[in-house]
Amino acid sequence: MSRPSMSVRILILVGGMAAAGSLAFALSNARRGYEPRQPILFKHSRMAGPPVMVKNDKGEMVNAGGFNIPCLYCHTMPYKGRHSTVPSTAVCMNCHSTVGLNREWVLKMKDYWERGEPIPWVKVHDLPDFVYYDHSAHLNAKNEKGEPKVACKDCHGEVEKMDVVRVQNAFNMQWCLDCHRKKEMAAPTDCVACHR
């Protein structure tokens, strides 16, 4: 049998590399670092971060930092339901019907509101559907001293310092298990806990 032609050999090689690459990706499948561009430049650092008072050119004290709005003001569900929620524009309008009306992105947000369209926020964290994950089970879990076992930052990092939300951990199976296996977590490691 004659040897495959050069072009066929190259095709096989490229195909093999692609298959090996996708396998490696499926196994590691790290989501860390994913930071999609959002339709509105909404800064957690400005809304949820701590205030930083500075003097402006007129000598007045102004807040160049954040407004310390609690996570749960906007993400209302994590202690009650499987999913946390991204707030509807109505929540933003509680303040922005009167505040920040000289800011470009606040005006763009108001355009959505006036057209009656939801803001098409891009999901940052998104596990495959065959994985069962429940926020409330995590956030309500207490150790024997009655303290919460986990907080938002253990999984999402310091969101209040971010201008754009970025995935801070691998969010793959290994990452879930690494925490579940810690003695103090006493969390399930059997397959059906997460694949039901």
Nearer to ligand HEC, 5 or 56 (CB): 56
- Of 93-152, binders to ligand HEC (CB under 6 A) are 94-96, 99-100, 103, 105-106, 109, 121, 123-128, 131-135, 137-139, 141, 149-150, 152
Among the listed residues 24, 107, 177, 181, the single contact to ligand HEC using CB under 6 A: 177
The piece of 1-9, 12-20, 110-118, 184-192 that touches ligand HEC (CB under 6 A) is 184-192
Q: Are 149 and 142 in contact (CB under 8 A)?
A: yes
Place of tokens 């939300």: 165
**Number of residues forming the site for ligand HEC (CB under 6 A):** 75
Under rule CB under 6 A, residue 73 binds ligand HEC: yes
Q: Are 42 and 87 in contact (CB under 8 A)?
A: no
Q: State in angstroms the smallest separation of the CB of 117 from ligand HEC.
A: 14
Q: State in angstroms the smallest separation of the CB of 6 from ligand HEC.
A: 34
Report the alpha-carbon distance of residue 151 to residue 61 in Å, rounded.
33
What distances in angstroms separate CA 170 from CA 24, 27, 73, 126, 185, one per listed residue? 14, 11, 27, 12, 19
Report the alpha-carbon distance of residue 124 to residue 115 in Å, rounded.
25
The piece of 2-10, 11-19, 50-58, 87-95 that touches ligand HEC (CB under 6 A) is 87-95
Nearer to ligand HEC, 3 or 37 (CB): 37
Under rule CB under 6 A, residue 54 binds ligand HEC: no
Report the alpha-carbon distance of residue 51 to residue 75 in Å, rounded.
20
Place of tokens 């339901």: 81
- Of 12-51, binders to ligand HEC (CB under 6 A) are 26, 29, 38, 40-44, 46-48
Q: State in angstroms the smallest separation of the CB of 4 from ligand HEC.
A: 32
Report the alpha-carbon distance of residue 92 to residue 16 in Å, rounded.
50
Report the alpha-carbon distance of residue 149 to residue 140 in Å, rounded.
8
Under rule CB under 6 A, residue 156 binds ligand HEC: yes
